[in-house]
Amino acid sequence: MHTWKFYRTGGLDQVLFRNGADIAHLAELDQKLWTALSCPTKGIRFDAKTLEMLDTDKDGRIRVPELLAAVKWLSARLVSLDPLMDGSETLRLASVSASTPEGQSLLASARRILANLGKASADAISLADVGDTAKIFAGTRFNGDGIVPADAADDPATRQIIAEIIAAFGAETDRSGKPGVNQAKVDAFFAAAASYLDWTRRADAAVLPLGDKTAAAAAALTAVRAKLDDYFTRCRLSAFDARAAGPLSRSDADFAALAPQELSDGLPAIAAFPLSKIAAGRDLPLLEGVNPYWAEALTGFKSAVVAPLLGADCAALSVAQWQALKAKFAPYEAWVAAKAGAEVAGLGAARLAGVLAGKAKAEISALIAEDAALEAENAQITEVERLIRYHANLLTLVSNYVNMGRLYDPKTLSIFQVGTLYMDARACNLCFHVDDIAAHSGQAGASKCCLAYCTLTRPGTKETRTICAAFTSGFAHSLWVGRNGIFYDLDGKDWDAVIVKMVDNSISLKEAFWDPWRKIAAMVSGQVRKMLAAKQDAALVNAAKKIETPGAAAAAADAPKKAEGAALASTAAALGIAVGLISTAIAGIVSAIAGMPLWKTALGLVALLLLISGPSMILTWFKLRARDIAPILNACGWAINRRLRLSLKLGRIFTTEAAIPAGSERQLTDPFADDNSVRNRFIAILILVAVVAILWFAGLLDSVMPGPMKRHPPAAVCNVTVVVPAAPKGK
């Protein structure tokens, strides 16, 4: 049984990872003592490739069995898990176990990688060494990916064929970064070559009526096929009904539309006209009397098709001759439509026949097979990378998963902390990535923390994101929706931040102390404003009534001044009432403490302060004691297993307030400050009068006051005769 060590922090007993043995025995630790039971693979600051390797079921979460499987995997390949405590991206080869098959395989792969990189004598391998496979395999002939570049072959003829395969079917990229071919492309090339040669062998005299000139003749026929079919169809319609000849030959209006244009033989508008004049049973002239747009194409057709097959003196083409010519080229057209191996046709039948007659396919396939034979061995490169990434990052994950050591360490950041928000002269570093503000705030409110949800933007790059910032120190009333700030992520990029939602909760006892007084001041000032406004409105109404009363014009002329005077008078009266209320309140307090000793008076004032601020502070203290980060993390997708209490001391760490650096010099004179000297003297006099009045009512000034002003006059003096009995005689 492994012996664990626990330490207490943040009111939580957490396991301490002292060495690799603690990590190796992680499966023995009761999961009830784990801080988290799963965490998301997104929205956290952690190596994405390591998370991808850990997430074996690809569900976007790292669960306990997956973390334990990674520990077990490491234990079978390392001599000890102690090197994990350094969190280094460089792994010493001596740390890899040579006593297990898994360790031996990885050790051989690591040494082969270093040898390929020209570091055969190195005693350590780094993450950078395995990061660029093209560099690893740049100088190797085979690398186990089943792809061979042209230079993998020793025979120049074989190299040429590989290049021809790449040209015909495209390249596969070898691990070395070079273009190459795999077995599928080789098979496709030789199959296409065989099909093309078989297709060419079917070209007999019926398919090629003009021999090697058949292709050019067929192209010439295809160029005019549609127009010739159109022409002979129009002529047949004219034979069917003589009235069709005129309209089918185009009307005068069609020709009139051409008249304003600048005409040429290549004008597209002419192309739509018939090849020649329409008449029943009329042959198509091939040289004269044809549509000028098609004259050149008809000349080429006559030269390539008509002359070789019908004679050079054939100047007109009948419908029967036209049908015969189409039938003559029908086998060729069917043969072309059935063409196979078009990808390799550019090499020509002779070259392809030579390739098929040789042993190129067998030689290239042998090279590919030799390369593929190393697949299992070279696939270990990925495993070497896994080993190095786990070596570098697993302790960090464990310290944010099994325990929350990073959260309670002021010198480090947890993987869920995404940056620092500067706002309201405070720096808040307890910031979380959020995808859905509404869903997150619905769960995170149970944390009893003051949460500010902010939208972050970078105008230069159009990037946006959202965060939740937990303010744990200072005052909450100075935060509101719409307030702007600046957010710095852990990559050093700055973002414009604006609060879009607040979850209001108490932040500090200091704020709780002043809250009642702030509310009282707001209530008093509100009542005073209401009285002033009511008095001023009443005065203005009275002045308006006087103005409206029929009277001398002089009264109307003086109305504004009277209204203004009335308003001033009402304002002064309201101020007098307010002062009177305050004076009455002070007098009541003074009369209540009159006659009491000074210490009782002071104690009473303290009791008054506690009576007003005490309940608020007590309630806030209970709320602050109930603050818990776990609901926030649960809203982020974590499965937090234990309470993560947020103490007042932690709160001051997570949210720091502005403070002048120690040793700084200060100039206290403000040249732009308001001149409040008169107000300050008045307040000082009022305070002095109040203190004197309190002392006088308490009778503490009787020793310096004249008789009539003494609060407690001296008692009347009475003449008392004291009779002393005589002592008995004899004594």
Query: Using one digit for the tens of pLDDT, what is the confidence trace for 420-431?
Result: 999 999 999 999
What are residue 665's phi and psi, to 5 degrees? Answer: -95, 145
Q: Tell me which amino acid residue 421 is.
A: L
Residue 712 has pLDDT above 80, yes or no: no
The phi and psi torsions of 17 (rounded to 5 degrees) equal -95, 105
Structure tokens at 38: 């799963």
Q: 71 with 26: CB under 8 angstroms?
A: yes
Q: How large is the average pLDDT for residues 677-697?
A: 78
Whether 561 shows a pLDDT value over 70: the answer reads: no
Residue 590: is its pLDDT beyond 80?
no
Cα-atom radius of gyration of the chain, to the nearest Å? 50
What was the pLDDT predicted at 12? 86
Of 589 and 213, the one with more pLDDT: 213
For residues 127 and 392, is the Cβ–Cβ distance under 8 A? yes
pLDDT confidence of 597, banded at 50, 70, 90? Answer: low
Distance of alpha carbon 508 from alpha carbon 515, whole angstroms: 11
pTM: 0.62
State the pLDDT confidence band at 623, using cuts at 50, 70 and 90: confident
pLDDT at 725: 57
Average pLDDT, the chain: 84
pLDDT at 587 > cutoff 90: no
CA distances to 156, 228, 377, 553 from 172, in Å: 20, 49, 21, 104
What is the DSSP pairing of strand 450-458 with strand 655-657?
Answer: unpaired
CA distance 304 to 325: 12
Least confident of 39-48, 401-410, 554-563, 648-657: 554-563
Residue recorded with tokens 């006099």? 685
pLDDT of residue 477: 83
Look at 635 and 410; give whichever has higher pLDDT: 635
Predicted local confidence at residue 243, as pLDDT? 87
Q: What's the mean pLDDT in 675-704? A: 76
552 has pLDDT over 60 = no
Q: What percent of the chain has pLDDT over 90?
A: 47
Predicted pLDDT of residue 556: 47
Helix (H) or strand (E) segment spanning residue 452: strand 450-458
**624: confidence class by pLDDT, cuts 50, 70, 90:** confident
Asked if residues 43 and 61 have their Cβ atoms less than 8 Å apart, the reply is no
Share of the chain above pLDDT 70, in %: 85
pLDDT of 140:
67
CA distance 260 to 263: 9
189 pLDDT above the threshold of 80 = yes
Which carries the bigger pLDDT value, residue 626 or residue 326?
Answer: 326
Is pLDDT above 70 for 700?
no
Residues 455 and 498: their CA atoms lie apart, in Å, by: 6
Average pLDDT, stretch 16-40? 95
pLDDT at 386 over 70: yes
The total of other beta-carbon atoms located within 10 Å of residue 630's CB is 22
**Is pLDDT of 553 > 70?**
no
Is 210 in contact with 307 (CB distance < 8 Å)? no
pLDDT the model gives residue 116: 81
3-state helix, strand, coil in the chain (%, to 5): 55, 10, 35
The pLDDT of residue 580 is above 80: no
**Of 310, 154, 319, which is closest to residue 234 (Cα–Cα)?**
319
Nearest to 42 by CA among 347, 499, 450, 418: 418
Provide the CB-side half-sphere exposure for 57 (13 A, CA): 10
Residue 501 is inside which H or E element, if any? strand 494-503
Domain positions in the chain are 6-138+377-398, 145-252+265-373, 419-506, 511-626
Q: Is 353 exposed, middle or buried (0-12, 13-18, 19+ CB in 10 A)?
A: middle
pLDDT at residue number 605: 65
User: Would you state the pLDDT for residue 16?
Assistant: 94
* Structural contact between residues 125 and 114, judged by C-beta atoms closer than 8 angstroms: yes
Q: Quick one: average pLDDT of 477-500?
A: 94
216-249, pLDDT tens digit by residue? 999 999 999 999 999 999 999 998 888 888 888 8
Is 115 a residue whose pLDDT tops 80?
A: yes
Contacts of 176 (CB under 8 A, 6+ apart): 134, 137, 138, 140, 143, 149
**What's the CA gap between 390 and 479, in Å, rounded?**
42
Nearest CA to 97 among 26, 24, 19?
Answer: 24
Q: Rounded to 5 degrees, what are φ and ψ at 63?
A: -105, 170
Which pLDDT does position 343 carry in this prediction?
92
Partners of 465 in beta bridges: 456
Give the Cα separation of 48 and 414 in Å (integer).
15
Tens-digit pLDDT profile for residues 338-371? 999 899 999 998 999 999 998 989 999 999 988 8
| H or E element that contains 615 | helix 598-625
What's residue 718's pLDDT? 47
Question: Residue 608 has what pLDDT?
Answer: 63
Residues 6+ apart with CB under 8 A from 206: 331
pLDDT tens digits for range 169-182 = 999 988 778 899 99
Q: Is the pLDDT of residue 717 over 60?
A: no
For the segment 637-668, what is each residue's pLDDT rounded down to a tens digit?
999 999 998 888 888 899 999 888 888 888 87
The single-letter code of the amino acid at 229 is D
3-state secondary structure of 315: coil
| Contacts of residue 208, Cβ cutoff 8 Å, sequence gap at least 6 | 214, 332
Amino acid at residue number 158 = T
Spatial neighbors of 76 by CB under 8 A, at least 6 apart, are: 97, 100, 102, 103
User: Residue 10: CA atoms inside 13 Å, Cβ hemisphere, count?
Assistant: 23
- For residue 682, what pLDDT band results from cuts at 50, 70 and 90? confident
pLDDT tens, residue by residue, 472-485: 988 888 899 999 99
Does residue 331 contact residue 206 with C-beta atoms inside 8 Å?
A: yes
- DSSP secondary structure of 100-130: SHHHHHHHHHHHHHHHHTT-TT-SEEEHHHH
Residue with the larger pLDDT of the pair 633 and 688: 633
pLDDT at 563: 47
Which pLDDT does position 731 carry in this prediction?
44
